Structure 1
Amino acid sequence: MKVLTAGDGFVTTKVLTEALSGADGLEGGAVEVSSIQSNWPNEPYSDFSGVREAFGDEDELIEALTGVDVAISHTYPFSERVIASSPDLKLITITRGGPVNVDIEAATRHGVVVSNAPGRNAVATAEHSIAMIMAAARQIAQRDAEVKAGDWRSDYYNYDQVGPEIAGSTVGLCGYGNVGGKVARALAAMGAHVIVFDPWVDPNALEPGMELAEDLDSLLERASILTLHQRLTKDTELMIGAEQIAKLPDQAIVVNCARGGLLDYDAVADGLDSGKLFAAAFDALPEEPLPEGHRLFSTPRVTMTPHLGGASKQAAELAGRIGAADIARFVRGERPEHLMNPEVYEAGNLRAK
């Protein structure tokens, strides 16, 4: 069986090839592997041809897929055109939680199964979220920039200037999934009281001492630190706006390391400008990258990183291993674990082997 590793600068072809060679049943040349690699993330991805957050040339991908049964990739665009032009392709494995760079409807029509890699960057994103909470509370990035500029300000020791400790704070956490659960457990271990809002969570899944909020408002009224970990859906879009920020205690901190669409950033900026909020930290932004002159650049007490919460060596390697394990199952004639269109596999509608 022929497998194409379509890598990029994060989940590289080397990472993917090594993952395949270590998967149960794929050792010792059990599959024939070919490779291409794109220049992402040194060039930004985009939305095109019915797929999102993709990078790579469709023609290059179509040529590379000639005679290929299985493709494993992170960001290449598996559009309707690519899938229709690759008649031997039976399985597309995407090494990210949301395979938005695949036209799944087109894959389903053409009898191609699609798998993903849920949880591959959960640890990295959780660690980054905790770091951003602490950076916002202690204004680490701002003080670092001032000290390096020769500005040593001991007036930040004044009571009205200092931020809160995590221990003893009430943290409102929206979304108790792979990332949110890890953040909640870490903050609870640091001594925070964690309140969770997640309509889908099993209350028994919460750690002892955590509290499940009846609704979002009851969480907001008590959360001195608000951290977002929801998926972006039509129900969660702009779930935090001016009305919700007004319900937070004075001098609260708002952190978003999930998706930019969850939050009204102008409302947060208004809260910071007015003194309602103490600080904010974002790894997910309303536009990526932010355009020159955007309001957030001049809003006080904002810490930002360029949507790299999930970027760690371990995350890339785990993504490769999760994908390779599903490919190994497929090669052995077994059902891949992480299917996005299981009806294709279960109905036996795959392209002829």
Structure 2
Amino acid sequence: MKPKVFVTRKLPIEIIEKIKEVCDVSMWEEEEIPVPRNVLESQIQEVDGLFCLLTETIDKSLLDKAKNLKIISNMAVGYNNIDVEAATQRKIMVTNTPGVLTETTADLTFALLLATARRLIEASEYLRQGKWKTWSPMQLIGQDVFGATLGIIGMGRIGEAVARRAKGFDMKVLYYNRNRKPKAEQSLGVEYADLPELLQTSDFVCILTPYTPETRNLIGEKELKLMKKTAVLINTARGGIVDEEALFQALKKGEIWGAGLDVFEKEPVPVDHPLLTLPNVVALPHIGSASKKTRLRMANIAAENLIQGLQGKTPNNLVNPGIY
């Protein structure tokens, strides 16, 4: 008998066919609507494997309903949507898809930095609304990127990839990380700084650190007040790393110049969210890894993790080896 699997979002047919070679598959067919909690609770009681996204909260109360669950394959690098400790206690494997989205997310991070610095979204709307009457010396002026100082919070794979792009713009790159990265300092010419120094001296601050209890609200009122009034904050990591109310107040009061956000604490972000009312915020719907090639690779890796776990093998991307 094939193991049973539930997939929490509609996937490309080639990925589903790959899983079906080994498993009996049930799938939530909606592309735009997350699987309802009651459906997830019903499915998890029966299945051996779960293929899920960041949009699903896999907590202790859900895992308590799982009778046969052996593996949770998360189609994401992060896995803060899963109670890994609770899964480990139940000997349930948790896997992720690291490495695959590094360059794509770095592209989006730098694109967001440029769009915010040069007010591209605001300028496009200005034109489309018929407001452009003439060229004017101080019209829609932004911030220079070339030759500016970039501060990167979190020098992992994506942080290093962003640093490489910054060097093409002749930027000075500072970084703050839990551990220093001597190899990155040597190969990329980046300089380590503690967090206050980085915030005080950077023209652009990019948040690329994982979301953990230690990094929750890492950037709050105190940290924002350290930044330059001309500074731009970019977040393509996780929404909860930034105190959104503090960021709103800092932007509204002119304590910092602008922000580019691909992530929010609550997603999808409500359309009446205060940050969306500000002209100096460029907001995106969590599209950091959204290229066709990357998303297919993520889905393929997540499928491989799932199959390996259900075949009794140790998956390539096991998050919780403590189950053994």
1:267–1:306: structure 2 CA closer, same or farther, 3 Å change rule? same
Question: Is the CA contact (8 Å cut-off) linking 1:197 and 1:214 kept in structure 2?
Answer: yes
Q: Identity of counterpart residues, as a percentage? A: 26
Q: Which structure: larger Rg?
A: 1
Letter in 1 for 2:32: N
| Partner Cα separation in structure 1 for residue 59 and residue 252 of structure 2 | 44
1:40–1:342: structure 2 CA closer, same or farther, 3 Å change rule? farther
Cα RMSD of the aligned pairs, angstroms, is 3.2
Alignment match, 2:274: 295
Secondary structure of 2:193 counterpart: coil
Deviation of 1:293 after TM superposition, in Å, equals 4.1
Letter in 2 for 1:190: F
Alignment match, 1:59: 42
Letter in 1 for 2:153: C
Question: Which residue of 179, 195, 204 maps to 1:216?
Answer: 195
Matched, 1:42 2:32: yes
Secondary structure of 1:171 counterpart: strand
Deviation of 1:9 after TM superposition, in Å, equals 4.3
Question: Which residue of 72, 92, 102 maps to 1:92?
Answer: 72
Question: When the two structures are aligned, how many residues end up with a matched partner?
Answer: 323
Alignment match, 1:25: none
Question: Which residue of 139, 142, 146 maps to 1:163?
Answer: 142
Secondary structure of 1:321 counterpart: helix
Gaps of 5+ in 2: none
| Partner Cα separation in structure 2 for residue 205 and residue 156 of structure 1 | 43
Gaps of 5+ in 1: 22-28, 49-54, 346-353
| Partner Cα separation in structure 1 for residue 131 and residue 111 of structure 2 | 24
1:263–1:333: structure 2 CA closer, same or farther, 3 Å change rule? closer
| Partner Cα separation in structure 1 for residue 125 and residue 97 of structure 2 | 37
Q: Deviations over 1:90-130 (max 9, x none)?
A: 33322222334544344334333222222343333222211
Alignment match, 2:13: 14
Q: Deviations over 1:301-349 (max 9, x none)?
A: 211112232333223222233234434554675432222221223xxxx
Alignment match, 2:110: 130
- What TM-score, normalized by structure 1, do the two folds share? 0.78
Alignment match, 1:256: 235
Matched, 1:186 2:165: yes
Question: Is the CA contact (8 Å cut-off) linking 1:166 and 1:190 kept in structure 2?
Answer: yes
Deviation of 1:280 after TM superposition, in Å, equals 1.4
Deviation of 1:209 after TM superposition, in Å, equals 4.8
Deviation of 1:20 after TM superposition, in Å, equals 4.8
Alignment match, 2:130: 150
